[in-house]
Every structure is written in structure tokens, then in C-alpha cells.
Amino acid sequence: MALYKLLTLLSIIAMTSAGMIVHESRTFVPAGFVSEGLAPANDMLTLRVALTSNNIAGLEEKLMSLSTPGSPEFRQWLSMEEVKSFVQPSSETVSAFSSFASANGLEPTVISPNGDWVSITLPVSQANQLFATQFEVFTHPDMSDTITRTLSVSLPSELVGHVDVIHPTTQFTGPNTRLAPTSFISLDRPVVDPSCNSSLPSGVVTPTCLQELYGIPATPAAENASSLLVTAYEDEFAQTADLSGPDDAGIEANLDVQYTTANFGSSMAIKICNGYMALGTRGISVVFASGDGGVRGGHDDTSVCDDNTFIPVFPAACPFVTAVGSTQGFGPEKAINFTGGGFSNFFPAPSYQTAAVASFLKTIPSDFAGTFNQSGRAYPDASVQGFSPSLQGWNFEIVSDGEVGLVGGTSASSPTFASIIALINDQLIAAGKPVLGFLNPFIYSTASTAFTDITIGHNSGFVCPASSVAFDAAVGWDALTGFGTPIFSELLAAAMA
Ligand SMILES: *[C@@H]1O[C@H](CO)[C@@H](O)[C@H](O)[C@H]1NC(C)=O
Ligand SMILES: *[C@@H]1O[C@H](CO)[C@@H](O)[C@H](O)[C@H]1NC(C)=O
Ligand SMILES: *[C@@H]1O[C@H](CO)[C@@H](O)[C@H](O)[C@H]1NC(C)=O
Ligand SMILES: *[C@@H]1O[C@H](CO)[C@@H](O)[C@H](O)[C@H]1NC(C)=O
């Protein structure tokens, strides 16, 4: 009897696990998250499912061809329809998912213009059965809402090769780690716009200061001095995940979030990174902050200072975005200690940067105590002012919702860099030329000398002491400031060439 029961049980296990292939799993819950127990069986879940694109490798090849100076199709950016032909799932993928959905009474809704994201709504119990998950409810001390996640998600074999991501499942992105210990110091006063030198007593980084420092002509900003100061923050990565791009290419998307890749999960990071790839082919420059934790993630704290395994951040580590770090000071400009930089564990180094990065790796001593992935995509690509050492430090003046205030960090540097790209695009458009689009192959080749090389700095973090292991700025590209800070006239000349 007991044996019979055992055999029955075993055969049930075999049946339920037959054909289920683990898609993504994690062995532990990321720090800060606490399980409050199993998610109630009858709670409804809406899962977003990324269907595999029909030709993402072809799109990557296309992007490199479009964005590499000297290529016959240089900057001949694609239309939305052309991008769709690469990104949309194949008819086999669509029918595999449709059959699965209808066999299980699910009604998928297409939620992206290219048809590569669908959503399904189902009870927790059914999700647990269909994807061999065990959804739990988690809390985090810095988050007011609970999240429902699982430590493992599987796919029935008929969906393997057709589904890239099921979200939310194993992704623990936590609170938005965008930086600045003080994110916005509100000032009850109008905009002041002194030059870098005359602002030395207050140390405020302003449009006039930036124009002076990087040789940006005064005309565009003089029309409205506020415009360079206006920054738009995107809080939800979800808003950025719809990556079809607008009808009119030629804009810069500056996005300000940083997540630790390990918590994000590789399938989601790859899917979103591929979305940035698609934006690049449309002629859109996607610019991200490199993070404010130096070599230790989006934001360092005392618990990580002794950890010599460096923590890369996402999306800066995506090879299809331009990651921007922070400098401080004016004579000479130096890398600030918190400027995010490092090497991805998910994304291999793209060919456009292998030579520059190999030169940097040679500067690292053989007894270097830091552990990082030398074969990964290295970031940042460039840098801009993001901090002023005087007063409270966060002396980068912005106008947000009509209010004048001070911020700091790579969150200030990346929109500044994006505005410089926008000014160059204005001139390209006025000259009847295509916009810059995906920047990196251009930055690493013909434009690599259009930057002031920043050679001083150690990115151990804002909190971690300078004695903590980190990278050092070096001659040429380095993992603190990329190629350095822009020289407007040279960047413009390289763009117009
Ligand atoms: C500030 O003044 C110093 C000395 O006059 C000069 O060398 C430096 O280039 C100036 N800084 C800027 C950003 O113009
Ligand atoms: C300048 O920009 C600010 C901020 O966007 C805006 O409120 C103001 O109306 C603009 N002024 C002019 C003259 O365009
Ligand atoms: C290093 O990065 C590569 C991708 O470039 C990845 O395949 C590999 O797993 C990474 N190694 C570690 C230890 O994370
Ligand atoms: C990082 O640099 C800033 C500016 O120089 C300084 O205020 C801060 O104390 C530094 N952090 C550490 C841990 O030294």
C-alpha cells in the first residue's frame, strides 16, 4: 500500500515536471526582500510575456552597420516598419503561444506595437501550475507596496525558444536606486546662471558654466537659458520597456535608473537591452547614468566597502546605450569618487570598444584586488560634470516642475550629455544630415579624440573610503569617465564630417 502510494506520487511528480524546462531561477532572495509567505491561490496575476523576436541577431548586425563610421549605410536609420520586421515574433512563435494560451483558457492581449510583448491574467494557482512557479509575497523596507515573485520559473517544452521573459517572476528590482543622497534640494529663488569661474564661491554648475567648460556655443541656450536645465526623470523602467520609438526619429532618450543586474535577472535585462538596440536603429540616442556607487553598484553603502567583487549596474551595462559618468572641478576636471564604472557579467564586450578597453586593462596592476569580468561590456562611455565639491556638494542647478533646485550625480551628468547630443543633432538636421542615433561606435572611433581625457580619480564610491579597492582613471578610455568630457566644437566637427 505504502509502496503503491509512493509510486503514484512519483508518477504524479514525473507527469507534472515532464516537459517543464527551468527558464530562470535564483538561489536566494536579494538583500532587503522578506517573504511574507505564499501568494494566495485565488489572487489574480497579470504576467507580461516577451515572445522571442524573429531576428534579433539580424537587428544587431544592422545596428552596427548603421552606426559605424565608414559603413555604406552609415546613419541610414530604419523606419518603424523596418524595425518591426526584425523584432516581431515569427508566425511559429505566435502560434505556439496561442495554442498554449487557448489550451489553458487564457486570453493574451498584445501590449507592444511590434507584437513581442503580450499579457495574460490568471489566478496564482494556475500560474504556479503552468510555469512550475511558487509565487510568494515579498516586502522591502524601502517599498510601501508588496511584490509577488517566485524564485524559479519554468516553461513547458513547447514554449522553449518562443518565450524570452515572463514578468514579474524572478526579477527583484526593488526600490528605484536612482541617486543623490539628497535628490533635489529645492531653492526658493530664480535661476542664477553664472560662469564656472564666477560661480566658484557657490560652486553651482549651470548652463553658462557648462557652455564655458565644454565650448558649447551660447546661441541655443541664450534663447532660453532654462532649457538646458530642465531634466526629465523616468521613475519606472516599465515606461521605458515599450521601445518601439516614436514616428519621428532623431530624439535623445535620457533615462535615469540604475539597477543591480543580478537582481534584475538576465532574461529581462537582455530583452530590455534589445529594446534599446531597436531604438538605436531608429536613430535615437539612448543615454543612461552610469550609477552613483563607483564600482559597487547603483549606490554604495558601508556594507559593501570591503567587498572586492565589483557590482555592475543596468541599463548602463547594456552595450546599446551610452553610459555617462560624473566629473567634478574645473582645473583640471577629475572623476568624482562615486562615478559608476565597470564590466557587465551578462553582456559581452561589443567589438566597438575592445581596443580601447584592452588598453585600459593594461593599466591595471597584476596584483589588483578587485574582481570583475574582463570580457564584459565596459562602461561608462563618456562623462560630464555632476558634482561640485563646495557647499553641500549637490550643486548642479536644475529646474524641475518649475522649481529651481540642486541635484548631483550621474543623474545630472547624463541629461547634460543628452542635451549636448541634442544640440549637435539640431545642427545636423539644419544641414540636412541624419542625426547621430546610436552613439557608441562613433564615440569609440572618429569621435574618441573629441573628449578631454580625464586622468585623475578613483571610483571607490561616495560612502566607501578612498582606500577601498576601485579603478583609477587613466590616459585614454577608463572605467570611470569613458573617453572623458565632450569638447563641443570637436564633437560637432566629427559629427558633421
Ligand atoms: C577659470 O579661470 C582660470 C584662470 O583664469 C582658467 O585657467 C580656467 O580655464 C577658467 N575655467 C573655466 C572653466 O573657464
Ligand atoms: C523657457 O523654458 C522654461 C522651462 O521650460 C519655460 O517655462 C519658459 O516658458 C521658456 N521661456 C521661453 C521664452 O520660451
Ligand atoms: C563574464 O561575462 C560573460 C559575458 O561577457 C558571461 O558569459 C560570463 O558568465 C561572465 N562571468 C561571470 C563569472 O559572471
Ligand atoms: C567623495 O568625494 C566627495 C567630494 O570630494 C567628498 O565630499 C566625499 O567625502 C568623498 N567620499 C569619501 C568616502 O571620501
Give a yes or no: residue 121 inside a domain.
yes
Going from the Cα of 340 to the center of ligand 1, the distance in angstroms, rounded, reads 27
Global pTM value:
0.87
Residues 247 and 103 in one domain: no
pLDDT in tens, 257-286: 566 666 778 898 999 999 999 999 999 999
* Residue with CA closest to ligand 2 atom 12: 224
Q: Give the separation between CA 384 and CA 366, rounded to whole angstroms.
A: 30
pLDDT above 50 (res 227): no
Centre of ligand 4 to C-alpha 328, Å, is 11
Same domain for 375 and 260: yes
Residue 98 covered by a domain:
yes
- 276 and 424 share one domain: yes
Is 453 assigned to a binding site? Answer: yes
Q: What is the dihedral of CA 9, 10, 12, 15, to 10 degrees?
A: 180
Owning domain of residue 157: 9-53+88-167
Residue nearest to atom 1 of ligand 1 (CA): 197
416 pLDDT above the threshold of 80: yes
Provide CB contacts within 8 A for 455, sequence distance 6+.
473, 474, 475, 478
Query: Nearest ligand, CA of residue 305?
Result: 4
Asked whether residue 291 falls in the same domain as residue 389, the answer is yes
Residue 376: partners with Cβ closer than 8 Å, 6 or more residues away: 312, 317, 343, 344, 345, 346, 347, 348, 349
- Position 199 in a domain: yes
| Residue with CA at minimum distance from ligand 1 atom 2 | 197
Cβ of residue 227 lying under 6 Å from some atom of ligand 2:
yes
Using the mean position of ligand 3's atoms as its centre, give its distance from the Cα of residue 62 in Å. Answer: 25
CATH number (domain holding residue 447): 3.40.50.200
Task: For residue range 333-358, list pLDDT tens digits in order.
Answer: 999 999 999 999 999 999 999 999 99
In a domain, 400, yes or no: yes
93-144 per-position pLDDT tens digit: 999 999 999 999 999 999 989 999 999 999 999 999 999 999 999 999 988 8
Say how many domains are in the chain: 2
Pair 353, 439 in one domain: yes
Is residue 454 part of an annotated ligand binding site? yes
Nearest alpha-carbon partner for 285 in 449, 75, 478, 53: 75
Same domain flag for 235 and 307: yes
- 310 in a structural domain: yes
Of the listed ligands, the closest to the CA of 347 is 3
78 in a structural domain = no
- Using the predicted structure, report yes or no on whether residue 7 has a pLDDT greater than 70: no
140 shares its domain with 269:
no
Statement to judge: residues 47 and 92 lie in one domain:
yes
Cα–Cα nearest to 206, from 461, 291, 216: 216
Q: Both 225 and 112 in a single domain?
A: no
Last residue within a domain, chosen from 167, 194, 211? 167
Are residues 97 and 213 both part of a single domain? no
400 CA → ligand 2 middle, Å: 12
Backbone angles phi, psi at 461, to 5 degrees: 120, 170
Residue nearest to atom 8 of ligand 4 (CA): 462
- Ligand sitting nearest the alpha carbon of 404: 2
Q: Is 162 in the same domain as 250?
A: no
Report whether pLDDT(178) > 80.
no
Query: What is the best residue among 292, 326, 337, 394 to mutate for testing ligand 4's pocket, by most ligand atoms within 8 Å of CB?
Result: 337
Q: Does residue 226's CB lie within 6 angstroms of at least one atom of ligand 2?
A: yes
Tens of pLDDT, residues 382-414: 999 998 776 566 778 888 777 888 888 998 999
Least confident of 3-12, 298-307, 373-382, 445-454: 3-12
Look at residue 244 in the predicted model and tell me its pLDDT. 41
Per-residue model confidence as pLDDT tens digits over 30-78: 888 999 999 999 999 999 999 999 999 999 999 999 999 999 999 999 9
Res 183: pLDDT: 61
Nine-digit cell at 313?
Answer: 549596474
Distance of CA 294 from the midpoint of ligand 3 (Å): 20
In a domain, 62, yes or no: no
Q: Is the per-residue pLDDT at 218 higher than 80?
A: no
Q: Specify whether 111 is located in the same domain as 224.
A: no
Residue nearest to atom 6 of ligand 2 (CA): 226
Verify whether ligand 1 is closer than 6 Å to residue 198 (CB atom). no
Judge whether 81 lies within some domain.
no
How far, in Å, is the centroid of ligand 3 from the Cα of 374? 9
Whole-number pLDDT of residue 370 = 97
User: Which atom from ligand 1 is nearest to the alpha carbon of 213?
Assistant: 13
**Are 458 and 328 contacting, i.e. CB atoms less than 8 angstroms apart?**
no
**Using a 6 Å cutoff on CB, does residue 224 contact ligand 2?**
yes
SS3 call for 21: strand
User: 476 a known binding residue?
Assistant: yes
DSSP state of 230: B
Smallest CA-to-CA distance from 183 within 406, 345, 11, 33 is with 406
Instruction: Tell me the ligand closest to 230's alpha carbon.
Output: 2
Domain end marker among 167, 199, 216: 167
Give the model's confidence band at 205: pLDDT under 50 very low, under 70 low, under 90 confident, else very high: confident
Distance 401 CA to ligand 1 centre (A): 33
Which ligand neighbours the alpha carbon of 206 most closely?
1
- Take atom 5 of ligand 3 and give the residue whose Cα is closest: 348
Query: Cα separation of 77 and 79, whole Å?
Result: 7
167, 202, 220 - which closes a domain: 167
Residues with CB under 6 A from ligand 4: 337, 389, 393, 462-463, 465-466
